[in-house]
Amino acid sequence: MTSQPLQLTTAMHDYIQHVEQQLEHFPELQGMFRNCYANTYETTLQILEDGSTFVITGDIPAMWLRDSTAQVRHYLPVASSDPKVADIIAGVIRRQIFYIGIDPYGNAFNCEDNDNRYDIDLTELNAWVWERKYEIDSLCYPIQLSYLFWKMTGRTDLFDESFRIVMHRIIDLWRCEQYHDDHSPYTFMREDCPPSDTLRNQGKGMPTSYTGMTWSGFRPSDDACTFGYLIPSNMFASVVLRYMAEIAIELYNDERLASKALRLQEEINFGIENYGTVIHPQYGKIYAYETDGQGNHNLMDDANVPSLLSIPYLGYRPVDDIVYQNTRAFVLSEHNPYYFTGTAASGIGSPHTPTDYIWHIALCMQGLTSTDPGEIESILHVLSTTHASTGFMHEGFHKDDPTLFTRPWFAWANSLFAEFVSQYALQSSKEPSSL
């Protein structure tokens, strides 16, 4: 491993300087941007002997497939011209593919096969796996990062036979989980824990019926799903399956793999649109957060991504899609049980954190998916006044008192903040966003 923290490259310093120049109207954001942009690079990356890159989340010494993608995505614009940064991101992807090959049901992994783990859970344990909460998005994020990396840098060296095998394995798992109750080998139980940390029904989760969607045990918050078909994560899977089909054709000339991906995508889309929507008495047709295919729906949104708020960011529907706009109005209202309004801020929180705690990730995603300059600048102001004088983002903060917050070192929040501010700055300078 690297014994010393990584130092920002010249290209990264130039990028920071360019963004800061566009933030004259938000001087406090300039220092915050510099802090948050550099956070992942300087504090969470470890270059391993095999050339791959291990990424901790910040205050937890494990590598989440989701977080490790989100933590480096804001470096992609620099990677297009800086080989060192590109190599580090390529190392992240190689490590992710290695982990999926070990256990595609795992969500977080150790640097070595040392048997470290969050808890001794009742599931299929492995010395490499820190936690085995199966989440659809854990398999989506590495494919998304690989695709964006290819498009940004033009590099194709990552797409070897092991990558193709992993794509097949992801598709096969998602197809198996279309019939979770009958065919899935996956179970998960944790003893002496809150209900959100374990699955009911002897570790299988509550019963579901076939819809075309694929089942998920847990949300991107690592909390258990109430109903097994998690709509935002199925949307993410749909987008990623398109990526896999394009990779299969363009880089492998593998029509069989492409066809396999697109067939599953069509089935998932059918399930989302036919089982994952409801008619709300105030907002009209909206997407539910979860369903079971048996007529039950969970109407809410969570701060963690994928979320319903993030639908355009994921690439599932454009921002002006009417059902998305209806859904957005719902999730940014008191009808969403995790939308909190206070004297310091209003925004989406999570059942993963205490009531009345708003997440910086959700505020950044609200800004990233907004087309209203007034809303965007209002969110920037809120971000600049709710960091409790730390210069960094947090997980959740109290709606009335930002000095009360969770996770002082949460790299995903810092990275998404940097991505949001970068997008704002690039648009302000009339340059197209790189992502």
> In degrees, to the nearest 5, what angle opens at C-alpha 109 toward C-alphas 35 and 47?
55
Q: Using alpha carbons, select from 400, 365, 372 the residue that is nearest to residue 386.
A: 400
Q: Are 245 and 261 in contact (CB under 8 A)?
A: yes
Q: What is the pLDDT of residues 204-226, one digit of tens each?
A: 999 999 999 999 999 999 999 99
- The residue type of 335 is H
List CB contacts of 374: < 8 A, sequence separation 6 or more. Answer: none
CA distance 136 to 271: 15
Q: What pLDDT is recorded for position 430? A: 58
Paired strand residues for 229: 291
Q: What pLDDT is recorded for position 2? A: 42
Q: Is the dihedral of CA 24, 29, 365, 93 positive or negative?
A: positive
Q: What is the pLDDT of residues 144-172, one digit of tens each?
A: 999 999 999 999 999 999 999 999 999 99
CA distance 27 to 233: 36
Whether residue 432 is predicted with pLDDT greater than 60 in this model: the reply is no
Whether residue 301 is predicted with pLDDT greater than 80 in this model: the reply is yes
Q: Are 339 and 255 in contact (CB under 8 A)?
A: no
Q: Are 44 and 411 in contact (CB under 8 A)?
A: yes
- The residue type of 404 is L
Q: What is the pLDDT of residues 68-85, one digit of tens each?
A: 999 999 999 999 999 999
Domain residue spans in the chain?
Answer: 1-35+338-428, 44-326
| Minimum mean pLDDT range among 1-15, 52-66, 377-391, 408-422 | 1-15
Reported residue count of the chain is 435
CATH architecture of the domain with residue range 44-326: Alpha/alpha barrel (1.50)
- Look-up: residue for tokens 């990424």? 55
CA distance 151 to 96: 19
pTM over the 0.85 mark: yes
Q: What pLDDT is recorded for position 137? A: 98
3-state secondary structure (DSSP) of residue 268: helix
Q: Residue 427: pLDDT band by 50, 70, 90 thresholds?
A: confident
List CB contacts of 70: < 8 A, sequence separation 6 or more. Answer: 141, 305, 412, 415, 416
Q: What is the pLDDT of residues 356-390, one digit of tens each?
A: 999 999 999 999 999 999 999 999 999 999 999 99
Percent of the chain scored above 90 by pLDDT?
95
Instruction: Return the HEC string of 356-386.
Output: CEEEHHHHHHHHHCCCCHHHHHHHHHHHHHC
3-state secondary structure (DSSP) of residue 218: strand
- Look-up: residue for tokens 């319903």? 308
- Average pLDDT over all residues of the chain: 96
**String of DSSP letters for 330-343:** HHTSTTSTTEEE-S
CA distance 196 to 218: 9
What is the pLDDT averaged over residues 341-364? Answer: 98
Q: What is the pLDDT of residues 6-52, one digit of tens each?
A: 999 999 999 999 999 999 888 999 999 999 999 999 999 999 999 99
Q: What is the pLDDT of residues 86-118, one digit of tens each?
A: 999 999 999 999 999 999 999 999 999 999 999
Q: Residue 5: pLDDT band by 50, 70, 90 thresholds?
A: confident
Q: What pLDDT is recorded for position 434? A: 44
Whether residue 433 is predicted with pLDDT greater than 80 in this model: the reply is no
3-state secondary structure (DSSP) of residue 321: coil
